[in-house]
Amino acid sequence: MKVAVVGATGMVGEVMLQVLAERRFPVTELLPVASERSVGKEVIFQGKPHKVIGLADAVAAKPAIALFSAGGAISLEWAPKFAAAGTTVIDNSSAWRMDPDKKLVVPEINASQITREDKIIANPNCSTIQMVMALAPLHKKYTINRVVVSTYQSITGTGVKAVRQLENEYAGQQGEMAYPYPIHRNALPHCDVFEENGYTKEEMKLVRETQKILDDNTIAVTSTAIRIPVVGGHSESVNLQFENDFDVNDIRKLLNETPGVTVQDNTDTNTYPMPIYAQGKDDVFVGRIRRDHSQPNSLNLWIVADNLRKGAATNTVQIAEYLAANQLAG
């Protein structure tokens, strides 16, 4: 299968290449694609160098699948061009997520919605993916009425520029700033741009995307997104209020049986999810599972995942795997 990776030289693009190789995706020809300034450079895939090409050349090559991680503007302009050439696009930006005609897919939850006619498929936001991985089985059994989530997000979600800012601040050096304030020894309640309602775009992604993926607009979601000086992954404190009551041990059992979810929840041994251990892994880790005694039918969870993997690259490749397995691509 001929596969294009658009944004192959970026942080998520590099992880996409790594995940494709790790999961032995059936790539017969790889087309690494990037901006004009990167054309001609080489990326390594499965131990071999591959030359980076431009977007127009990639469209002309008619790959079966194109994995996009090059930002919303590029996706809006170029995804339709790939689709018109017969390529199935899986887009990692926010460009198509809330388009009513585009599927927003977490494979473990709703891959069955994909048809051969879906030529542009949206990959959800990283913080949304890890949350709905835990929420989906709970919603199915107990019906979630309300979600209150606070995220503690890795700087890698911003990109290379943010990683450099933190490294410079560690070293006591001046350099380019990805954030309006220092991130070292700090926490910024400011992920993405502010919308007119006072929430950031990142916070509203959690609201809108959760409702779309779980196919239930009645779920009330409110969120606060915070950037912290961590590189291993995103963490989330999640409070759920259910329609129906539950047993905490049944919650643990249900999550433990959910593919892609690992329960780490033993306070006797100080076992709970942390980004330092989630880094480089594909599962979503859930712990600190406990009843909220201040409200009826309410539960607290702590959810951690590597935002570059399950939150981005791995989820994208899993969608591609579903397309390949069901002959839905190209």
Please tell me whether residues 267 and 154 are part of one structural domain: yes
CATH number of the domain encompassing residue 216: 3.30.360.10
pLDDT digits (tens, 9 = 90+) for 231-245: 999 999 999 999 999
The answer to whether residue 330 sits within a structural domain is: no
Q: How many CB atoms lie within 10 A of CB 185?
A: 8
Q: Is residue 97 part of an annotated ligand binding site?
A: yes
Whether 61 has a pLDDT exceeding 90, the answer reads: yes
Sole residue written with tokens 């702590």: 302
Among the listed residues 50, 126, 139, 191, the single catalytic one is 126
Percent over 90 (pLDDT), the chain: 98
Q: Are residues 203 and 222 in the same domain?
A: yes
pLDDT tens per residue, range 135-164: 999 999 999 999 999 999 999 999 999 999
Place 252 in a pLDDT band, splitting at 50, 70 and 90.
very high
What secondary structure letter does DSSP report for 310? Answer: I
Task: Tell me the CATH number at 106.
Answer: 3.40.50.720
The annotation status of 38 as a binding-site residue, yes or no, is yes
Q: What is the mean pLDDT of residues 6-23?
A: 96
Q: In terms of domains, do 140 and 62 share one?
A: no
Residue 117 and residue 44: Cα distance in Å, rounded? 32
pLDDT, residue 297, reads 98
Instruction: Check 50, 139, 191, 234 and give the catalytic one.
Output: 234
Indicate if 85 and 100 belong to the same structural domain. yes
Which class for 217: exposed (0-12), middle (13-18), buried (19 or more C-beta within 10 A)?
Answer: exposed
Q: How confident is the model at residue 94 (pLDDT cuts 50, 70, 90)?
A: very high
Report the phi/psi class of residue 311: left, alpha or beta, with left for phi > 0 and alpha for psi in -120 to 50: alpha
Res 185: pLDDT: 97
Select from 1, 47, 61, 49 the least CA-distant residue to 26: 1
Euclidean distance between CA atoms 14 and 313, whole angstroms: 9
User: Strand pairing partners for 290?
Assistant: 300
Instruction: Tell me the residue range of the domain where 267 lies.
Output: 127-307
pTM of the model: 0.96
Are the beta carbons of 163 and 242 closer than 8 angstroms? no
Q: Is 113 annotated as a binding residue?
A: no
- pLDDT band at 25; cut points 50, 70, 90: very high
pLDDT score for 137: 98
Q: Would you call 191 a catalytic residue per the annotation?
A: no
Q: Is 293 known to be catalytic?
A: no
Q: What per-residue confidence (pLDDT) applies to 292?
A: 98
User: What mean pLDDT is predicted for residues 63-76?
Assistant: 96
Question: Do the domain assignments include residue 221?
Answer: yes
| Cα 21 to Cα 241: distance, rounded to the nearest angstrom | 40
Q: Is the pLDDT of residue 2 over 90?
A: yes
Mark whether 109 and 139 lie in a shared domain.
Answer: no
Mean residue pLDDT of the chain comes to 97
- Note whether 185 and 255 are same-domain residues: yes
Pair 77, 138 in one domain: no
State yes or no: 12 annotated in a binding site: yes
Q: How far apart, in Å, are the Cα atoms of 132 and each of 24, 72, 214?
A: 26, 23, 8
Q: Residue 330 has what pLDDT? A: 78
**DSSP-assigned beta bridge partners for residue 104:** 122
User: Does residue 199 sit in the same domain as residue 277?
Assistant: yes
pLDDT digits (tens, 9 = 90+) for 186-207: 999 999 999 999 999 999 999 9
Residues 66, 163, single domain; the answer is no
pLDDT, residue 36, reads: 87
Instruction: Give CA–CA dist 77/80, Å, rounded.
Output: 7
- Check whether 119 has a pLDDT greater than 90: yes
Q: Mean pLDDT over residues 3-10, rounded? A: 96
For residues 113 and 178, state if they share a domain. no
Q: Is 326 annotated among the ligand-binding residues?
A: no
Say how many domains are in the chain: 2
Q: Are residues 99 and 212 in the same domain?
A: no
* Residue 195 belongs to a domain: yes
